[in-house]
Amino acid sequence: MPDEHDALRIEDLHVEVDGHEILRGVDIALPAGEVHALMGPNGSGKSTLANTLLGNPAYHVTKGRILFQGEDITALPTNERAARGLFLGFQHPEEIGGVSVLNFLRQALAVRKGIDDFSVLEVRMKLIEWTKRLGMDQRFQERYLNEGFSGGEKKRNEVLQMAMMEPEVAVLDETDSGLDIDALRVVAEGIDEVRKDRPQLAILVITHYQRILQYLTPDRVHILLDGRVVESGGPDIARTLDEHGFDAFRERVA
């Protein structure tokens, strides 16, 4: 039976892409207020899991289910997942020319809050508050979404979106990808700032590096290999991985 405290629960999840099985029975329970790290090498199924949680129709669930706050959302489209409070931070955020950060967030918040005409003034004031808290230039909101942004700016914008959207669960797909050590620290500090405002926010950090976990301490770490979670435990698992690599866990794959 699902635990009533789990914000997100993935049960025996099998997923195919173009007829090829990528996920082969993934089980993860993410309680409210906790940070979990999902770690795996390239090709292990990390991005497949992120896309499946997003509701990307190219990823076909053949078995298992996804529970969001106890509700089975396996068959729900992306917009309905977002409206319920599921947020995905992209590994490679897309550029959208002609659409300002302000207008993008206004439309996204309309979906999240179920309001057809979300106040521009309300969004602007909230953006001013959060850009200040995250140490960002307030003029950032007038720029076109991710157009001309550096790698660090794109990832900070993802954190800004997470703050504005007030999700219940945030899935951060390789947020550390392409960041130098200074940008990584700034992004991690931004995530911590959002957590101060929303202590019940559950976060799943998907990564193949241990370095972000030096700034964002996880409650639990899951190792994904060949489409299966082969080990789950405390932060020590990430340190073992840093010292010995994924080979230390390969023998656990059936």
197 in a structural domain: yes
- pLDDT tens-place string over residues 153-188: 888 888 999 999 999 999 998 887 778 888 888 889
The predicted structure's pLDDT at residue 2: 52
pLDDT at residue 1, rounded to an integer: 46
Q: What is the CATH classification number for the domain harbouring 96?
A: 3.40.50.300
DSSP 128: H
Overall domain count for the chain:
1
For 193, other C-beta atoms within 10 Å of its C-beta total 15
pTM value is 0.90
Structural domain harbouring 25: 6-250
What element of type H or E holds 132? helix 120-133
The predicted pLDDT at position 39 comes to: 93
Q: Is residue 236 part of a domain?
A: yes
143: in domain: yes
User: Could you give the percent of the chain with pLDDT greater than 70?
Assistant: 95
Region 237-254: mean pLDDT is 77
| E-state strands within the chain | 6-17, 20-31, 35-39, 60-68, 71-72, 86-89, 96-100, 144-145, 169-173, 202-207, 220-225, 228-233
Residue 165 domain-assigned?
Answer: yes
Check residue 111 and give its pLDDT.
Answer: 84
Residue 133 has pLDDT above 60, yes or no: yes
Query: For residue 111, is it within any domain?
Result: yes
Asked whether residue 26 is assigned to any structural domain, the reply reads yes
Position 1 in a domain: no
| Neighbour-count burial for 200-222, b at 16+ CB within 10 Å, e otherwise | ebbbbbbbbbbebbebbebebbb
Would you say 7 and 31 are in contact if contact means Cβ atoms under 8 Å apart? Answer: yes
